């Protein structure tokens, strides 16, 4: 954890808006995941925060990677490009999954040289992969319950479980190998039963595939959704891990490889945002502060991720209910309409914690304002 004094020092040194990444926290979160889910190979979901320094730190920790575009693939590739060719190819096969079920043909053609592991969830994608990336290994993604997730994903991705074996057999008929099954229970999932149901559905598909003569699968990808501790309502990770470990033990023999794609869980608590007050007004009787960061920038997760990031002051004083707006000319640029803050002045710093995931990753240059400067600490 970075102290308030350190945050203020960095803001004075580098200016604001500032986005700070604590690499000690990244390592702590990765090691916690490995501790409580020892059977699971950790594939960091690069989309959560694709900063190359984050990828490098997790690479050094031994992480694998879930990528969903060629630019993300290349960020990871930078860490292995110096390996001998065979070692590099083996590393890609073992440590990268391209977990976007729908891929442009140009992407498949570029990926094919690496003999990648890729996901799919429909018949059209099978034929596309056969034509443009015939050396790929396949993982079928199924639709599972996303009940209670902060971000629902099942409406866009995943085949119906009842269709899965038919799709597996069609891929096999075309000479492709389906290595296993993947799912995603929804981002920031606090409903542990989603994992229980998804694992049971996966086991059922394994059994049906075996009965219908397909025995080439050897992995289960349990996706992401592992919740970050944004507040006290989020149960400890070890409790979710206990549920998952129990179901894995019950449903899948040891020779089945288990993958997971945590993104938010690894990076959320490693991120800090520091900005400053650039304006102040009273609107409809409520004090309103304007800061030099907003929903088009580090606070983009307010819009895209349905997430709240409390604005905190470095001053200790009595507070009142305030509104906080971003710097752009768009009325959508509202960070919060209900923050308890003391009386602040132009130039005062404010900050947010737990803002490392789906924040700076989706920042824009809207209205001519650039994204916050990134500072790495404890690398």
User: Which residue among 159, 307, 322, 329 is the active-site one?
Assistant: 329
Residue boundaries of the structural domains of the chain:
4-19+271-377, 23-267
Mean pLDDT calculated for residue range 308-321: 96
What does the pLDDT read at residue 186?
80
* CATH homologous superfamily of 4-19+271-377: Lyase, Ornithine Decarboxylase; Chain A, domain 1 (2.40.37.10)
Structure confidence by residue, pLDDT tens digits, 201-253? 999 999 999 999 999 999 999 999 898 999 888 899 999 999 999 999 999 99
**Is position 307 annotated as part of the catalytic site?**
no
How far, in Å, CA of 324 to CA of 294, rounded?
A: 9
User: What distances in angstroms separate CA 300 from CA 94, 226, 260, 335, 364, one per listed residue?
Assistant: 33, 20, 25, 9, 9
How far, in Å, CA of 274 to CA of 257, rounded?
A: 41
Q: Which CATH class is domain 23-267?
A: alpha beta
Structure confidence by residue, pLDDT tens digits, 76-102? 999 999 999 999 999 999 999 999 999
Structure confidence by residue, pLDDT tens digits, 117-150? 999 999 999 999 999 999 999 999 999 967 665 6
- If we measure between CA atoms, which residue out of 256, 169, 164 comes closest to residue 217? 256
DSSP state of 21: E
Does position 153 have pLDDT exceeding 80, yes or no? no
Q: Could you tell me the two tokens for 33?
A: 């995941």
Whether 4-19+271-377 shares its CATH topology with 23-267 is answered no
């Amino acid at each position: 954890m970075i102290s308030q004094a350190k945050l203020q020092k960095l803001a004075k040194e580098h200016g604001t808006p500032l986005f700070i990444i604590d690499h000690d926290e990244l390592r702590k979160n990765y090691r916690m995941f490995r501790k409580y889910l020892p059977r699971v190979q950790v594939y960091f979901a690069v989309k959560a925060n694709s900063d190359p320094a984050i990828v490098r730190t997790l690479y050094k920790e031994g992480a694998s990677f879930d990528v969903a575009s060629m630019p993300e693939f290349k960020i990871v590739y930078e860490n292995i490009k110096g390996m001998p060719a065979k070692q590099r190819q083996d590393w890609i096969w073992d440590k990268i999954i391209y977990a976007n079920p729908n891929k442009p043909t140009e992407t498949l053609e570029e990926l094919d040289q690496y003999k990648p592991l890729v996901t799919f969830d429909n018949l059209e994608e099978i034929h596309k992969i056969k034509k443009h990336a015939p050396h790929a290994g396949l993982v079928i993604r199924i639709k599972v319950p996303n009940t209670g997730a902060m971000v629902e994903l099942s409406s866009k991705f995943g085949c119906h479980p009842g269709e899965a074996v038919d799709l597996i057999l069609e891929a096999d008929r075309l000479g492709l190998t389906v290595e296993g099954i993947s799912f995603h229970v929804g981002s920031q999932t606090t409903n542990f039963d989603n994992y229980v149901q998804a694992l049971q559905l996966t086991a059922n598909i394994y059994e049906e595939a075996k009965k219908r003569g397909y025995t080439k699968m050897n992995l289960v990808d349990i996706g992401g959704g592992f919740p970050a501790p944004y507040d006290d309502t989020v149960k400890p990770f070890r409790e979710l891990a206990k549920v998952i470990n129990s179901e894995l033990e019950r449903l899948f023999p040891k020779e089945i490889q288990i993958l997971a794609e945590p993104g938010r869980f690894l990076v959320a608590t490693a991120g800090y945002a520091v900005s400053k007050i650039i304006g102040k007004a009273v609107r409809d009787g409520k004090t309103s502060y304007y800061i030099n960061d907003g929903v088009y920038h580090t606070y983009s997760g307010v819009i895209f991720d349905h997430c709240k990031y409390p604005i905190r002051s470095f001053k200790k004083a009595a507070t009142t209910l305030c509104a906080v707006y971003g710097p752009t000319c768009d009325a959508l640029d509202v960070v919060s309409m209900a923050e308890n803050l003391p009386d602040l002045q132009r130039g005062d710093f404010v900050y947010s914690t737990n803002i490392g995931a789906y924040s700076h990753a989706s920042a824009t240059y809207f209205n001519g304002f650039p994204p916050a400067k990134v500072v790495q600490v404890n690398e």
